[in-house]
Amino acid sequence: MRVLSTPNPRATDGSRTRAGRRLDLDVVRGLAIVLALGWHFSRERSGNAVLDALTWPGHSFGWAGVDLFFVLSGFLLGRLVLTEQARTGRFDGRRFTARRVLKLWPVLYVFLAVQALAGPEPWTSYLWQNALHVQNYAGTSLTHLWSLAVEEHFYLGLALLFPLFARRRGSPRLLAALLVGILVAALALRVWGVMHGVSDVRLQWRTHFRVDSIAAGVLLALVSVHWPERFEQLRRCRWVLLGVLAAGTVHLVTVGKQGAVGSTVGFTVAYLTAAALLLLIYRAAWVARARWIAEPMALLGRYSYGIYIWHIFAAAVALDLLPVWDSESTSAGAQAMKYGAAIAVGVLATVAVEKPMLRLRDRLVPTEDRAVQNPAVRHDEAKRHATEAPRPLAVRQERPVRAAA
C-alpha cells in the first residue's frame, strides 16, 4: 500500500504557495467573488464602456459564482477528508467540524452582531435563522447568506456520516456511486419541484435541491485522490474542458436560472461549467506565467469569504455616508464605490477577525498531521482510536493540495 506523501509548501507546477495557499486555487476563489459582486452590483449597465465590459460576466451570470464556490469547496474539503482517510484509515469528524466552525462562524457572527446593532432590517427577519443556519428554509432578509446554509448542512452530514463510512471500510467505488446518486437525486428533486409549483427561490436556496454542486466537487476530489491517473487525463483534456466551459457559459447567459429549464438543468450546467473552469486552472502552468492577472485575482480570492459576507452591507453604508449617489444609482461612480467598499470591508473583516481566529484554531485544533506530532495529542489519539483500527484504503501516491480549510 502506498501512502500519500507529506504536503510540500511549494506547488510542483510553478504555482507557489503563499502562507500555505496556492495561487491557482485563490484565482478560482477570486473569479467566484468577482462573479458574485457583479451579480449584486452591476445588474444594470453603468454607461461606462470599460466598467460594463469588466462587469459583463457578473451582470450576465454572476449568480453562478456561488456554484463555483460550491464546487471548489467540495473539491478542497473532499481532498482533505479523503486524504486523511486514505492515510490513517479513519476520519476525525469532530476535528473537522471544530476547524470549520472556527473558520466560518467568527466572521459571520460578527457580521450578524453588527447587523443587529446598526443594520436596517429588523433582527427577527434574519438573526435566529442565520445563527442556526436554517436561513435557506426559514427565510432571511439577508438573502445573500442562503448559500452558507447549504455548505453547513453538507459538511455537517459529512462529519456525521463519513466516520461511519470509514469504519466500515467503504470502497472508493461505493463512495463514487453515492456521490453520483446525489447528483441525479438533486436534479430529479428540482424537476419534481417545478412540476409541483415550487418557487424559483426555493429551488435555488434549499439544500436538497442544491447539494449536487458541492457533491460534484467532492467527486472530483475522490477521483484525484484514488484514481490520480484518470484525474490527470481528465485535466489534460483541455479542448474538451474549454468546450464545456464555452457551452456552459452560453447556456448560463441565454437561459439563466429562471423558468422550468433554468431552475432544473440550469443548476446542473452551472456546476459542470464550474468544474470545467476549476480543472482548467488547477495546477495549470499558465497560471504562474500569467501573474499579471493571476496575482490580483488571487488577492481577491484570499479575502473572498469576508468580502462575500459583508459586501451588500458595506456598499449600502458607503453610499449613505457619501451621498453623491443614491442607493439605487447604477452610474459608474456608484458601482465603483460599491466594489471598493465591499473589498475594503471584506479585507478588514479577514484581517481583524478571520485570520486571528485561524491562528487560534491551528493552536487549539491542529490538523491531523500536526496533531500527531504532539506527543500528548498522539497519546490521546492512540487511546481514543485503540478500538477502531480499520485498514486504510490503498491509494496511489500523489501530493495532496494544501488548502486553507
Q: What is the pLDDT of residue 375?
A: 53
Helices (H), 282-354: 285-289, 291-302, 304-321, 332-349
Q: What is the pLDDT of residue 183?
A: 98
Helix 265-281 crosses helix 172-195 at what angle (to 10 degrees)?
Answer: 140
Cβ atoms of 146 and 137 within 8 Å: the answer is no
Q: Which residues of the chain register pLDDT less than 50?
A: 1-12, 14, 377, 384-400, 402-405
Helices (H), 119-171: 127-131, 135-138, 146-167
pLDDT digits (tens, 9 = 90+) for 49-62: 999 999 999 999 99
Cβ atoms of 16 and 60 within 8 Å: the answer is no
Q: What is the pLDDT of residue 86?
A: 87
Q: What is the pLDDT of residue 4?
A: 45
Domain boundaries, the chain: 17-384
Q: What is the pLDDT of residue 237?
A: 96
Cβ atoms of 127 and 116 within 8 Å: the answer is yes
Three cell numbers at 149?
A: 446554509
Cβ atoms of 307 and 343 within 8 Å: the answer is yes
Q: What is the pLDDT of residue 327?
A: 73
